[in-house]
Chain A
């Protein structure tokens, strides 16, 4: 299960809608070992493509270093699919390199209603998990 505050959920969806039809991507960082996704960080898609995303390498270094300094990890890694379903593609699976992360996928294929799903991708195996959206105060208390 991935737990997100409403504010974080909304920020991810807003980013996906804003970048549509290009894929949007980013992370939600949280304290190492806590599994709490608290700090939303939208990232640039260096590919700027409707079918592929890649974190800009310089930005990734800055963000990863900052997480290291704050003793955080990327609890959530999100990206959007703009014409297909919110399910990890073969490339998503092939490149998933953070086994502890929750891989959130948002589909903006339908302009009226986004599809928002989350997955664990470990050793090439995909398992879907529940997305639970809560009020901010609840996240701090977990």
Chain B
């Protein structure tokens, strides 16, 4: 059983530069755990306190998993899971120029 997981540029440091890796699992959660087993640290960039991080978009084929089952979304052989960091921001706290904020 192989599911392709497409990795965005900013997370390729966890996958030795690879833009896609393979994994297995019945749900998105178990797929992420499986991939994290070979690429340690990747899971922490996607999941926090047992929930998908708000500003990371994960897609099962063409759909945002938020509209499916989130972490419990069933996945199957032949599926493609795509990870894209959300592109977001805004003028809120514009007066604050502190550079470093934890994701």
Which residues on A are within 8 Å of B, measured CB to CB? 23, 25, 27, 43, 47, 49-55, 57-58, 60-61, 64, 73, 77, 79, 81-85, 87-100, 124-126
A15 CA to B87 CA, complexed, in Å:
17
Partner-contacting stretch, out of B34-42, B68-76, B94-102:
B94-102
Q: Which are the 8 A-B pairs with shortest beta-carbon distances?
A: A97-B85, A52-B90, A92-B89, A54-B88, A84-B94, A124-B100, A94-B101, A81-B91
Which residues on B are within 8 Å of A, measured CB to CB? 8-10, 55, 57, 59, 62-64, 66, 82, 84-103
B87, B95, B102: the one contacting A25 at CB < 8 Å is B87
Is B98 a contact partner of A100 (Cβ separation < 8 A)?
Answer: no
Number of A-B contacts (CB under 8 A): 117
Q: List 27 A-B contacts (CB under 8 A).
A: A25-B87, A52-B90, A53-B88, A53-B89, A53-B90, A54-B87, A57-B66, A60-B87, A61-B57, A61-B64, A73-B9, A77-B87, A90-B92, A90-B97, A90-B98, A91-B88, A91-B93, A93-B99, A93-B101, A97-B10, A97-B85, A98-B9, A98-B87, A124-B101, A125-B99, A125-B100, A126-B99
A49 CA to B92 CA, complexed, in Å:
11
Chain B residues, Cβ within 8 Å of A77: 87
A81 CA to B91 CA, complexed, in Å:
6
Q: Give the nearest-CB partner of A81 in chain B.
A: B91
